[in-house]
Structure 1
């Protein structure tokens, strides 16, 4: 009798377990068409592209673009703020799904990750101390000259390749590079045009800007993703095409870059989002 009772109890427990498991699976299965959240890596220290508002919330051009992409994909977006030189390792280890952080497409980076179609173009430019004799990029390639660069950026890479006679001062933060120029400890800071323009306007008494392009080749910004995410790449490229056709980038320019665009138009310098694709 005890044996029969034990068997019956086991059967009851087994049925209950299956029933509970079935209910749990039913409740946690995503609805058809739902996707997991899109985790976007960026360094929120690069206004007006990636920054935080007064409450500490992510904002800026790249943030708006990320949320528009999430809406297009039907996926919630989570912004992960991290150091710029940690973005590619985080992507490769699966901590984030994409990089949307004003990242230039380079052959070196393409060895590790893939990129979307470019959505913007950028030139390197110089923030120069007003007392420095530097008038053009070539003037930096002289012993005794000093240039500040942000670690891991294309400005850093370009300086190492093209300024063998200049002392290259490497810093982790943009603000540190700017401070070196403002205080006269460095002749110049090399970064993209938008950043140089902003810092020149913030420090007009101590700096001047060389915005005219000096590179032989354009730099393009793209969205970084893992090499095996081919479907996601196709979706992102489709989104960028539609976003541009619908005037999305024009709206971003009006919202965040109206003054810059006016200045660049007056100087006859091609603007950031004016790219043919």
Structure 2
């Protein structure tokens, strides 16, 4: 009887050991799987596509050509960044003020749409190394009677909603700022007299003036700013890869070719 009992106990002990080892093996497998979780950059490269949010109402940075294609300085830059990452580019058109939210939610991988580097913006998203340096200026028409920024006291001034143009416009003493989700509409309002001026990036302003002699730039730039790519906070691998791509594009002289092609300073 005792012998049989001892045999039973021995079998039980062996089974307990086996189950214990199986349990440890499962735990190790789970840990290994967890440690192999893909980074954002790896997911993009595996998919073979980087999705970029942009608002094509800001020529020469991003606009829609006569064939309905989104083109511009930023688009050429985005294509070059995608090539450096070894993936294709997919553009998602959206209003400027929604791009940050789209990046935060993962609806798009990055935002490239003339984003100026600001402390407020850096609280919500990460920003790449700057790829451009510029500023904001005031544009009016040659027959508007506006000769200086001071003349805009009490007048309507338009700017893109959620942009640094809007911030600069709000600093014009006494101006009534009209914020628009379509930046081009600001120039139309100035042209038809429903607004006296529009605040725009210097390259955008010069593009409009070059294509329509009824527009003119007045005064000195209202601000100095740097332009960068925005990424979701915590996507450090992607931001690092974009920084490396931007530096390579600068060093190769490619970015100067884009500037010359689009009249960007």
Q: TM-score, normalised by structure 2?
A: 0.77
Deviation at 1:34, TM superposition (A): 4.6
Higher strand share: 2
Deviation at 1:200, TM superposition (A): 2.2
Q: Is the 8 A contact 2:128 2:228 kept in 1?
A: yes
Aligned equivalent of 1:87 = 99
**CA shift in 2, pair 1:211/1:245, >3 Å:** farther
Unaligned regions of 5+ residues in structure 1, if any?
1-30, 261-271, 273-277
Q: Is the 8 A contact 1:125 1:191 kept in 2?
A: yes
Q: Aligned pair 1:35/2:41, yes or no? A: no
**CA shift in 2, pair 1:108/1:188, >3 Å:** same
User: How many pairs were matched up?
Assistant: 222
Higher relative contact order (CA 8 A, sep 6+): 2
Deviation per residue, 1:34-74 (Å, 9 max, x gap): 53221111112222221233332232211111111111111
1:172-187 paired onto structure 2 within 5 Å: 172-187=181-196
Deviation per residue, 1:205-247 (Å, 9 max, x gap): 3x321274233xx211000001101111111111111111100
**Equivalent position SS for 1:101:** strand
Aligned equivalent of 2:69 = 57
Q: Is the 8 A contact 1:128 1:209 kept in 2?
A: yes
In the aligned structure 2, how far is the partner of 1:44 from the partner of 1:89? 17
Aligned equivalent of 1:223 = 229
User: Which of residues 153, 178, 203 in structure 1 aligns to 2:163?
Assistant: 153
**Equivalent position SS for 2:222:** coil
**Equivalent position SS for 2:209:** helix
Unaligned regions of 5+ residues in structure 2, if any?
1-41
In the aligned structure 1, how far is the partner of 2:178 from the partner of 2:218? 19
In the aligned structure 2, how far is the partner of 1:181 from the partner of 1:55? 27
Deviation at 1:131, TM superposition (A): 3.3
Q: CA RMSD in A?
A: 2.1
* Structure of larger gyration radius: 2
In the aligned structure 2, how far is the partner of 1:82 from the partner of 1:211? 32
In the aligned structure 1, how far is the partner of 2:65 from the partner of 2:142? 32
**CA shift in 2, pair 1:97/1:34, >3 Å:** closer
